[in-house]
Chains A and B, each alone.
Chain A
Amino acid sequence: MRNFVVALRFTVLFFGINLLSISAPFAEEVEMDMDLMQTIESTNDNLSSNISLENAESAKADAQTLNELFAVVEEHYKKEVAAGNDVAEALDLTKKSIKFSSEIITFLDQKDFESAANTATDLARTCKTCHNFYKED
């Protein structure tokens, strides 16, 4: 039984590494999908916690990641708008999110955790507003 478990672990590890090496070249091309949204959500959770704990550097890294991920979202909605889809509000909300994440970085540079916390809440609300009205079935 123990040998079977060891063999199973090896198999999972082997295929896992191969899968990683295959997918690596595509990693830079982040696409607007559920994974991206979940990454944004978990990064946002981390951001909120790190601001509360006054971990400035970690919080800044989270805010920077969010800023970059929202840029991907913005590109997506720009294309949608250009294609004539009715998502102008989503584009506005994404721009708002980019602005908020930039402001959070500034507040964290100034060690102003209270303003950072309030702006992070604004950011989370903006995400929520967008999800409420543009979520997929």
Chain B
Amino acid sequence: MDNKSRRDFLKNTGLGVGGAALAGAIPGLSVNAAVAADLVDPADPLAPKAPHIPAKIKSVIWLHQNGAPSTLDLYDYKPELVKNAGKPVPDSFLKGIKTSTQGGVNGLFVSKERTWKQYGESGAWFSNLLPNLANHADKLTFIKSSVTIGATHDISILKLNTGDLNPGRPSLGAWVSYALGTANPDLPPYVVLYNGASEPRAGSVNWHSGFLPAVYQGTAFRPGASPIYYLDRPELRSALQQRNSLDLLNKLNQIGASDRPLDTELKARLRSYELADRMQVAAPEAVDLTKESDATKELYGINDPITGSYGTTLLRARRLVERGVRFIQVVSGAPDGETEITSWDAHDDLDKNHGLMAKMVDKPIAGLLEDLKSLGLLETTLVVWTSEFSRTPWGESGTGRDHNPWGYTQWLAGGGLKAGFTYGATDELGVQVADKDTAVDTYDLHATVLQLLGLNHLKTTFINNGRSERPTVVFGKVIKEILA
């Protein structure tokens, strides 16, 4: 059976097994027979691919807290820090780290506004900055021994997303798209969302496909009703006219393709025309919240000026999960209209900065977890709360904190994890990881996310310039201790 007749056979009989299975498995996703056949076309770079092992989750929501929140002010309660506030940092705590705080390492800083309380059966500590999220303590899996390379925000954000300090490597979402393909032919498998007036700092290099084919890069959905640049059909062109043009183009291209059955680039191009056509309907619908109930909107804080834009982004993320999008990268921005504080980067006046930023994300993230749980989606979704690094226990500018890549907290929630569990710890002051053997670097987090998606990071490979490359560069260990 040649390529063309095999394709015809699949289309005519609707035997798109992967697509049909996916259509049944994913709420809100309906796939017709022709499209299902499209899903299993071997020449399609986005055709669904089988994982290496049974997957625990279907989608990832990657919540990048841009600007590096102080996890010492959110999750990592340190009584010794409180006790020693204002005192110098003992040298023993600084062993092995290179500090670069302007004016040197200052005295230990504790906000006078900070209070702490334990929540849930797990007894996880939360500060008064996260009262809503705290109620979901038992859904979270904390990694309190995170480490990374501390550089500028842009460079460390690049590492967070691609595993490297230099541009050129694929982002984690691109690897996921490459390894698993799409679960919904009407939408990209990898979508980037953000709130605020401008695109996230350092931009598209953080959702780039690097040396992987461009088809695997993330698609940025802008805030607002029209999520993708140039996606809308021009006003002067009717839907019928567009359809007729595409049909003609498709016919001509199929003639060309039949002469070049092995030309995968051409197949990819043909697919992109059709995907764009389908996305004109699917993408705006996916992010249209008008059919969401008032209660749901309230859950995400959409009617509040501070939480509204971030809540909208997270509700869109949930809708994309429902529609089979595999990797949703959400970058925190700033509340609508806010121009002074645009990220978590609190080198001074931490109380003001974190007061606003925590309020912006607290209710929406709590709402997302509750919503996913009530819809039965939390078991098949992974939510990752992450940042490029965190902040020091010593003060900067009197009221702020400097960057800390040596020990901080990130958390995950969702399928395949030990919920209400904490892995690792920082030292008594929160300067660095207490036990280096438990340090979790970016690569380890990536390896673990891939594992939950059913992918062995060592076997997720791509040959680039003769070298076998993988998502975790030459590092990466799955954090087995946090897996259920």
Q: A39 near B: Cβ within 8 Å? A: no
Q: A44 near B: Cβ within 8 Å? A: yes
Q: A132 near B: Cβ within 8 Å? A: yes
The stretch among A8-16, A25-33, A113-121 that forms the contact with chain B is A113-121
Q: In the complex, which residues of chain B have a beta carbon less than 8 angstroms from the beta carbon of A47?
A: 474
Q: B147 near A: Cβ within 8 Å? A: yes
Q: In the complex, which residues of chain B have a beta carbon less than 8 angstroms from the beta carbon of A69?
A: none
Judge whether B470 and A132 touch: CB under 8 Å. no
Could you count the A-B residue pairs with CB atoms below 8 Å apart for me: how many are there?
46
Q: In the complex, which residues of chain B have a beta carbon less than 8 angstroms from the beta carbon of A114?
A: 458
> Could you name 11 residue pairs across A and B whose Cβ atoms are closer than 8 Å?
A48-B470, A49-B468, A117-B458, A118-B458, A121-B472, A121-B474, A121-B476, A121-B477, A124-B473, A128-B475, A133-B97
Scan A76-116; emit 1 where CB is below 8 A from any B CB, else 0: 00000000000000000000000000000000000000100
Judge whether A121 and B475 touch: CB under 8 Å. yes
Q: In the complex, which residues of chain B have a beta carbon less than 8 angstroms from the beta carbon of A53?
A: 463, 468
The residue from B97, B436, B463, B474 contacting A45, defined by CB atoms under 8 A apart: B474
Closest 3 CB pairs of A and B: A133-B96, A52-B468, A48-B474
Q: B461 near A: Cβ within 8 Å? A: yes
Scan B293-312; emit 1 where CB is below 8 A from any A CB, else 0: 00000000000000000000
Judge whether B436 and A52 touch: CB under 8 Å. no
Q: A18 near B: Cβ within 8 Å? A: no
Q: In the complex, which residues of chain B have a beta carbon less than 8 angstroms from the beta carbon of A48?
A: 468, 470, 474
Find residues 33-83 in chain A having any chain B CB closer than 8 Å to their own CB: 44-50, 52-53
Complex Cα distance, B475 from A94, in Å, reads 17
Complex Cα distance, B474 from A46, in Å, reads 10
Q: B402 near A: Cβ within 8 Å? A: no
Judge whether A125 and B458 touch: CB under 8 Å. no
Number of A interface residues in the complex (CB < 8 A): 24
Q: B469 near A: Cβ within 8 Å? A: yes
Judge whether B467 and A132 touch: CB under 8 Å. no
Judge whether A52 and B439 touch: CB under 8 Å. no
A124 nearest in chain B by CB position: B474
Q: In the complex, which residues of chain A have a beta carbon less than 8 angstroms from the beta carbon of B463?
A: 53
Q: In the complex, which residues of chain A have a beta carbon less than 8 angstroms from the beta carbon of B97?
A: 133
Judge whether A128 and B441 touch: CB under 8 Å. yes
B96 nearest in chain A by CB position: A133
The residue from A46, A125, A134 contacting B477, defined by CB atoms under 8 A apart: A125
Complex Cα distance, B458 from A114, in Å, reads 9
Judge whether A129 and B474 touch: CB under 8 Å. no
Judge whether B147 and A132 touch: CB under 8 Å. yes
Complex Cα distance, B100 from A137, in Å, reads 11
Judge whether A49 and B475 touch: CB under 8 Å. no
Q: B291 near A: Cβ within 8 Å? A: no
A118 nearest in chain B by CB position: B458
Q: A2 near B: Cβ within 8 Å? A: no
